[in-house]
Amino acid sequence: MRLSKQVIISRHYLIPNCFIEIAQQASKESTASQQRAEHEEDIALALYLANREDAIKPYLDILPSCMDQNLPVTWTPEERALRLRGSPVLKEIEIRVRKDFEDYNNIADFLACNQHLLKCPSKEVFSNALAWVRSRAFGMDGELRTDSGDAVPAMMPLLDLCNHARGSTVSKNVSYSYEEGCVVVKAVRDISPGEILRITYGALPNSLLLMNYGFCLEENYEPDGSSNDILAFEPIAGGALVIDLRTGPKSYTYSKLVQAVECYIAGDEEDHSENAIGEDSESNSYHLLEDDEKDIDGAMLYSACGDDERCSSPCDNDLSLECEALKNLETRLLSLLRNYKLEKVERVTAFDSQLAENTQNRFSSILTRSEMRTISFFLQAARRIISMLGFKADDLHYNSYGLSSNLDCPNLNKQMEELVDVYMRIRHPDIILLR
């Protein structure tokens, strides 16, 4: 099935350039240039949709309103706090709400002085259009790029009817590709009447799925067992350093664990960016990761020094300092765990069944449980390492905070043990030899 290029709504076709100029006014105060460029493109497209040109009206008339999409930006602050208590996503949503508000006011101010360009849409109409862009737009391949070189967003009627599939239980049944100004949509197998059309939106974390699309996936895993869910972990509350923790094979988890531990050893989070760790302490460890893991997510940083150059690690020299750091990590993870609304495993179950009707609560619950799992994963790894280093772990009673000592997802226990193993083999081969 082919879509002609006329029905693709983007800056390639249909949308005049003045929309990007108006959008630039909206986000003029943002700092990060890449984010700003993406954001401006989204705003330009949203403004065009909010303008409701006759040519696209029949399409817009069938789109759901953002209030129908379970988007957290449409919840009250109380609902957000209740559903997502403890989650770092709460802060991200608050920032987005504030930013959307500022952007709209900037647009309104600009258009008040430039009425010849466009009639300013109401805040409600604009928010709705922005929600359509965030939940339905595709990156449009082609020569036209954003200022930061990314694909320009485009609305693609029909293709945007497809839901997102990821993980092992549900697979996509539709594929698509771009061909000279149009997109070709194909069924990859027979599709029954009424069956949901599925593509993949990419390896997206549940936090982003919830924020942009209003849903979460219970099984948000890749075939290698790595979770797509990312926990934005602040080793020091409110500090500048944020470490993206996720569960999965050691190639994903090892460098993150080391980064967190070293941050506590130094007591100075500024000095312990990923690069600092790569250059200082993990140079000889590269060979301990398997071949297919070496170029994944930070694993390359182990190869920074030459083979015979032994880079010293402060941890090698002071076991008790390292142990103290691990205990600090453990304490911090535990305190984060305590912030979550769901305190006991039984309550998680009760929460789910009791509120099965309520999708917003259900999706929030999926997200917070995945974050708790990640915390549990690193918490248990830290405890194991402390005991392997010959120290007694503090009695923290973490089982009573909603997590069993076994990680409940496939492979998670095994991956946690592999993480501990590689940590010990890389950083304490002497201790491993003695065992």
> What are the two backbone dihedrals, phi and then psi, of residue 34, each rounded to the nearest 5 degrees?
-65, -50
User: What percent of the chain is helix, strand and coil (3-state, nearest 5)?
Assistant: 55, 10, 35
Query: Token pair of 350, please?
Result: 């009760």
Nearest CB to ligand SAM, comparing residues 199 and 375:
199
Among 161, 241, 305, 393, binds ligand SAM (CB under 6 A): 161
What minimum distance in Å lies between the beta carbon of 218 and ligand SAM? 10
What minimum distance in Å lies between the beta carbon of 9 and ligand SAM? 14
Among 48, 75, 132, 215, binds ligand SAM (CB under 6 A): 215
Q: Is 205 in the site for ligand SAM (CB under 6 A)?
A: no
Residues 6+ apart with CB under 8 A from 95: none
Question: Do 389 and 323 contact (CB within 8 A), yes or no?
Answer: yes
Question: Do 326 and 261 contact (CB within 8 A), yes or no?
Answer: yes
Q: With CA atoms as reference, report the closest residue to 120 among 142, 103, 137.
A: 103
Nearest CB to ligand SAM, comparing residues 99 and 164:
164
Q: Is 160 in the site for ligand SAM (CB under 6 A)?
A: yes
Residue in the shown chain whose Cβ atom is closest to ligand SAM: 163
Query: CA–CA separation, 175 vs 60, rounded Å?
Result: 24
C-alpha atoms less than 13 angstroms from C-alpha of 172 in its C-beta half-sphere: 18
Nearest CB to ligand SAM, comparing residues 309 and 357:
357
Query: Token pair of 10, please?
Result: 């983007």
Nearest CB to ligand SAM, comparing residues 75 and 213:
213
What minimum distance in Å lies between the beta carbon of 64 and ligand SAM? 6
DSSP letter assigned to residue 221 = B
Nearest CB to ligand SAM, comparing residues 64 and 410:
64
Q: Of 156-164, 325-333, 338-346, 376-384, which segment contacts ligand SAM by CB under 6 A?
A: 156-164
Query: CA–CA separation, 79 vs 268, rounded Å?
Result: 36
What minimum distance in Å lies between the beta carbon of 69 and ligand SAM? 5
State the binding string over 37-66 for ligand SAM (x if CB under 6 A, else -).
---------------------------x--
Q: Of 207-215, 225-233, 296-304, 402-410, which segment contacts ligand SAM by CB under 6 A?
A: 207-215
Judged by CB under 6 A, how many residues of this single chain contact ligand SAM? 12
CA angle, 246 as apex, 245 and 250 as ends, to 5°?
Answer: 100
Nearest CB to ligand SAM, comparing residues 138 and 377:
138
Longest dimension (CA), the chain: 79
Q: Is 164 in the site for ligand SAM (CB under 6 A)?
A: yes
Residue 68 burial by CB count (10 A; 0-12/13-18/19+): exposed, middle or buried?
A: exposed
Q: Of 43-51, 97-105, 211-219, 381-389, which segment contacts ligand SAM by CB under 6 A?
A: 211-219
Nearest CB to ligand SAM, comparing residues 215 and 233:
215
Query: CA–CA separation, 166 vs 215, rounded Å?
Result: 13
What minimum distance in Å lies between the beta carbon of 190 and ligand SAM? 20
Q: Is 69 in the site for ligand SAM (CB under 6 A)?
A: yes
Q: Is 136 in the site for ligand SAM (CB under 6 A)?
A: yes
Among 75, 132, 213, 233, binds ligand SAM (CB under 6 A): 213
DSSP three-state, residue 143? strand
Query: CA–CA separation, 220 vs 410, rounded Å?
Result: 12
Query: Token pair of 374, please?
Result: 């990640």
Q: Is 365 in the site for ligand SAM (CB under 6 A)?
A: no
What minimum distance in Å lies between the beta carbon of 234 and ligand SAM? 29
Per-residue exposure over 199-234, b if at least 16 CB sit within 10 Å of its own CB, e if not: bbbeebbbbbbbbbbbbbbeebbeeebbbbbbbbbb
Nearest CB to ligand SAM, comparing residues 72 and 214:
214
Give me the residues that bind ligand SAM (CB under 6 A), please. 64, 69, 135-136, 160-164, 213-215
